[in-house]
Amino acid sequence: MSLAHTTVLLWAWASLQAFEIVEKENIFLKTPCPAFLMFDNAAYLADMSFELPCHCKPEEVPAVVWYYQKHVGSSHTKVLTDFDGRVLTEAAQVRVGSDMLVRFSIRMFSLLVFRAQPEDSGLYFCGTRKGEYFYAYDVDIQSNEGMVATFKDMGQKPFADEYYGNLHVFTTFWEWTPCDRCGVRGEQWRIGLCYLQSPDLSPRYLRTQSDVVSCGSQAVPKRLRTTVRDHMPELLVQSCLVPCEKKNRFRESVLAIYNYVSKVGSKPWVPKVPIQFHQQRLGHGLIISCPGARPEHAVAWDKDHQHLYRTQYLKGVNRSMRVFIDHGNQLHIRFTQLSDRGIYYCWRQGVQIAGFRLSVTSRGHYPASLSDPETRAAVELTLISYLLITAIFVTVHLCRCCCYSFRFRPMFSP
C-alpha cells in the first residue's frame, strides 16, 4: 500500500472518531438542565433492575456522581460512588437483600440498580462531587409481597378503580410479555403497578399525565398514603400459543440419530440444552433460578414432560403449596421428596435454555448453615420453645412462692 493511501485512511479514521465524539457530546447539549430541580417519577416492582439516565449535564463536567436520599431535605445522604471509578457490578453476582451500595453500578453517566428492594425507594440525584445537582428521580419500588394474580382464562378481572372524593386509585399495566413457551401452550403476563390521580400532589414532581404519580411517590401527601396502602400490585396472566423458530434441521437430525442410538446403548444421551446436575438431601428445601432471567422476563418451568403452569403453581394460588414459582421466576421446592427427582427445564423468552437434573438422597452429611431456610426455622423453633418453657417454669415458681407466702404469713395480734 502506498503512502498516499495510508494517509487517506488515517485521515478518514480520525474524521470518524471526531464525528463520534461530537455526537456523544451533543446528547447532553440537546437537553438543557432545568433552572429549578424537578423530580422525574418512576415506579418498578421489587427484585427488578432499573437504569436511571442522567439526561442533562454541563459540557465542562467530565464525570457525574449519584446521590440518594430517603426523603426531601433528609440529613442522611448516600454517595453512590467512590470518586475513583467503581468496579462494575454484574447482575449475576448480586444477591437478593444485599445493601444498595453493593447493588449499584455507574455506566456512561447512568445509574444501574440491581434487584431493587422497597427500601431503595426515594430520591436519586445526578450531580458533581461538590454537590451540584443536574437531574433527579423520584423512584417508587413497590413490594411483590401480597401481589394479586388474575387469570384471564378463568374469567377473572383486575381490580376496579377506587374513588375517594378527588382521589382516584387505579392499576397501570405494562406491556404483555412474550409467550413463555413455543410449540406448546404457554402463558404470558403483564405487571400492574399502583398509581393515583389527585389535585393535591406536590408541583415539584414531574408526571407523564396530569396529576398522576405512582402510589409510593414522594409527591403523595402523608394523609393520602394511608388510603392507598392496601392497593397491591397485580399480575394478569393469560394463555398463548406461538410456533417455534426454525432451527438447523441438520443439527436436529444428528441429535435424533444420537438419541436413537443411545437407546441401543452404543452412544451417550445428548440433551437439547445444557444440563446441570444437583443432588439434594431428602426433606430439605431447594430454589432453582433460570440462568440470565430477570423478573420482567417471560420464564417457564417444566418437569420432564409436565408443564408447570402459573395457573396452578404461582405463589399464593394455594397456601399449602410445596412446589411453587415466585414472582421473581424462581422455582421453589419445599421439603424435597423422592418424587421430585427428574429434569427441570427452564424457558426464557419462549426458548428452552437450560435443564437441572435433580436427584434426591436420604444419605450423606450436609453441614448446617444459617443461610439454609430450614436451619433458620429449626433454630427459631428451638429458641421459641426454650423461651416458652422458661416462661412457664418461672410463672409456676412465682405462683408457688406467692401461695407459700400467703399461706404461712404470720398473724399479729393487737
- Please tell me whether residues 53 and 82 are part of one structural domain: yes
Query: Does the predicted TM-score (pTM) go above 0.85?
Result: no
Instruction: Name the residue with cell 402523608.
Output: 222
CATH number for the domain spanning 111: value is: 2.60.40.10
- Please tell me whether residues 284 and 207 are part of one structural domain: no
Whether residue 408 is contained in a domain is answered as no
- Please tell me whether residues 279 and 350 are part of one structural domain: yes
- Please tell me whether residues 117 and 156 are part of one structural domain: no
pLDDT value of residue 281: 87
Each residue's pLDDT expressed in tens, for the chain with a length of 414 residues:
455 555 445 455 554 444 333 344 444 445 667 777 888 899 999 888 888 988 887 777 777 888 898 887 777 888 886 444 443 334 444 455 445 566 788 887 888 888 888 999 999 998 888 888 888 999 999 998 888 899 999 999 998 999 998 899 999 999 999 999 999 999 999 999 999 999 888 877 766 677 899 999 988 888 888 888 889 999 999 999 999 887 655 555 555 555 555 555 555 556 788 899 998 888 888 889 998 888 788 999 999 999 999 999 998 787 788 999 988 889 999 889 999 999 999 999 999 999 999 999 876 555 666 656 667 777 888 899 999 999 999 998 888 888 877 776 555 555
149: CB partners within 8 A, 6+ apart = 234, 235, 237, 310, 314, 316, 317
- Please tell me whether residues 296 and 238 are part of one structural domain: no
Report the run of H or E that residue 3 belongs to, with start and end.
helix 3-29
What distance in Å separates the CA atoms of residue 330 and residue 123, rounded to the nearest whole number? 30
Residue 258: φ, ψ to 5°: -60, -45
Whether residue 262 is contained in a domain is answered as no
3-state helix, strand, coil in the chain (%, to 5): 25, 30, 45
Residue 132: φ, ψ to 5°: -90, 125
Rg of the chain over all Cα atoms, to the nearest angstrom: 29
What distance in Å separates the CA atoms of residue 280 and residue 311, rounded to the nearest whole number? 27
End of a domain among 361, 379, 401? 361
Please, are residues 172 and 190 in contact by the beta-carbon 8 Å criterion?
A: no
- Please tell me whether residues 277 and 342 are part of one structural domain: yes
Grid coordinates representing 208 are: 407523564
Whether residue 381 is contained in a domain is answered as no
Whether residue 333 is contained in a domain is answered as yes
Alpha helices of 241-369 — where are they, by DSSP H? 249-264, 310-313
What distance in Å separates the CA atoms of residue 353 and residue 332, rounded to the nearest whole number? 19
Of 271, 298, 302, give the one whose Cα is nearest residue 288. 302
Cα-Cα end-to-end distance for the chain:
130
Whether residue 399 is contained in a domain is answered as no
How is the beta sheet containing 299-303 ordered, strand by strand? Answer: 275-281, 351-361, 342-348, 299-303, 306-308
Residues paired with 402 in a beta bridge: none
- Residue 3: CB atoms within 10 Å: 7
- Please tell me whether residues 137 and 147 are part of one structural domain: no
Q: Give the domain extent around 222.
A: 143-246
- Please tell me whether residues 126 and 169 are part of one structural domain: no
- Please tell me whether residues 279 and 322 are part of one structural domain: yes
Grid coordinates representing 50 are: 432499573
* Residue 167 identity (one-letter amino acid): L
pLDDT value of residue 378: 78
pLDDT value of residue 26: 46
Nearest 5 degrees, angle CA 224-CA 226-CA 230?
Answer: 115
| DSSP letter, residue 161 | P
Grid coordinates representing 17 are: 472518531
Whether residue 388 is contained in a domain is answered as no
- Please tell me whether residues 128 and 165 are part of one structural domain: no
pLDDT value of residue 71: 83
Please, are residues 217 and 205 in contact by the beta-carbon 8 Å criterion?
A: yes
Grid coordinates representing 325 are: 414459582
What distance in Å separates the CA atoms of residue 226 and residue 169, rounded to the nearest whole number? 12
Whether residue 258 is contained in a domain is answered as no
Instruction: Name the residue with cell 494517509.
Output: 7
- Please tell me whether residues 167 and 110 are part of one structural domain: no
Grid coordinates representing 110 are: 447512568
Number of domains composing the chain:
3
- Please tell me whether residues 28 and 133 are part of one structural domain: yes
End of a domain among 361, 381, 400? 361
| DSSP letter, residue 140 | E
